[in-house]
């Protein structure tokens, strides 16, 4: 980019199940203001924000009297939409990133292609169904919704781990770090769409 374009976007999404406002700044410093009504999910999104360096304001009012499912999935939808809008035509991005992330006894790999082609490969098994009151199966639901709506190809592989909190947290942190790298502007091709097709949407 000859002149740094602003890579920010806001999304508001209201259904009969949830009401969500999301604002993101891809070129942020990892400042977040996150409130979903689900303590554990807020903790995960705080990690996602901090380690991606993408500023995220996320405010959700969901039908938690039913369960956490709609709130988690719809947050993934709105956050993915905001990231996609903020990326615009995806000009100049690094596009690919992958890394292994460790936390105590757990190691998780995330690989990303900011391709415009939504796809999730999820190879993570939680030993327990719950972390406190939070259903561990919702971690996959979040990333499925996020990848679909962000227009990214996302692979997550848990190599090993015993503690469910750690397994979940390494998923969020690994995807955050990969997303940070993959969405950063590559100065060697800063004004070019990183595809021989000439388009990434
Ligand atoms: Mn934690």
Which pair of structure tokens corresponds to residue 30? 């990892």
Does the residue 174 lie in any domain? yes
For ligand 1, an ion, list residues with CB under 5 A: 169
Does the residue 152 lie in any domain? yes
Tens-digit pLDDT profile for residues 122-133: 999 999 999 999
Sheet of strand 96-103: strand arrangement: 96-103, 106-113, 153-160, 119-123
Average pLDDT over residues 8-30: 98
Q: Who's near 26: CB < 8 A, 6+ residues apart?
A: 7, 8, 54, 83, 86, 87, 183
Judged against a pLDDT cut of 70, whether residue 25 lies above it is answered with yes
4 pLDDT tier (thresholds 50, 70, 90): low
Q: What is the dihedral of CA 149, 46, 12, 15, to 10 degrees?
A: 80
Does the residue 2 lie in any domain? no
CATH number, domain with residue 128: 3.30.230.40
169 CA distance to ligand 1 middle (Å): 6
Full domain range(s) for residue 69: 8-189
Return mean pLDDT, the chain. Answer: 96
Does the residue 54 lie in any domain? yes
Which pLDDT belongs to residue 1?
Answer: 42
Which pTM was predicted? 0.96
Do the Cβ atoms of 146 and 54 come closer than 8 Å?
no
Location of structure tokens 């406190």: 132
Tens-digit pLDDT profile for residues 81-116: 999 999 999 999 999 999 999 999 999 999 999 999
Average pLDDT over residues 144-155: 98
179 CA distance to ligand 1 middle (Å): 20
Judged against a pLDDT cut of 80, whether residue 2 lies above it is answered with no
* Cα 136 from Cα 164, distance rounded (Å): 8
Which pair of structure tokens corresponds to residue 98? 């992958």
108 CA distance to ligand 1 middle (Å): 15
Does the residue 194 lie in any domain? no
Does the residue 115 lie in any domain? yes
Identify how many contiguous H helices and E strands the chain contains and give both numbers: 4, 10
Which helix (H) or strand (E) element contains residue 68? Answer: none
121 pLDDT tier (thresholds 50, 70, 90): very high
Does the residue 24 lie in any domain? yes
162 CA distance to ligand 1 middle (Å): 14
Do the Cβ atoms of 175 and 159 come closer than 8 Å?
no
- Structural domains of the chain, count: 1
Does the residue 195 lie in any domain? no
Strand-pair partners of 119? 153
81 CA distance to ligand 1 middle (Å): 26
Do the Cβ atoms of 41 and 68 come closer than 8 Å?
yes
């Amino acid at each position: 980019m000859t002149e740094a374009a602003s890579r920010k976007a806001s999304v508001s999404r209201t259904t009969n199940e949830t009401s969500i406002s999301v604002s993101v700044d891809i070129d942020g410093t990892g400042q977040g203001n996150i409130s979903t009504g689900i303590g554990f999910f807020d903790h995960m999104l705080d990690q996602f924000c901090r380690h991606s360096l993408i500023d995220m304001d996320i405010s959700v009012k969901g039908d938690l009297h039913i369960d956490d499912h709609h709130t988690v999935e719809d947050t993934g939808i709105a956050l993915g939409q905001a990231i996609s809008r903020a990326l615009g035509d995806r000009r100049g991005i690094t596009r690919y990133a992958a890394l292994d992330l460790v936390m105590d006894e757990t190691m998780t790999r995330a690989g990303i292609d900011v391709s415009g082609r939504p796809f999730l490969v999820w190879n993570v098994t939680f030993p327990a169904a719950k972390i406190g009151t939070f259903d561990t199966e919702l971690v996959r639901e979040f990333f499925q919704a996020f990848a679909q709506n962000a227009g990214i190809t996302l692979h997550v592989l848990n190599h090993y781990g015993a503690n469910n909190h750690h397994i979940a947290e390494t998923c969020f942190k690994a995807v955050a770090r990969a997303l940070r790298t993959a969405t950063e502007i590559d100065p060697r091709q800063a004004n070019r769409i990183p595809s021989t097709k000439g388009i990434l949407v």
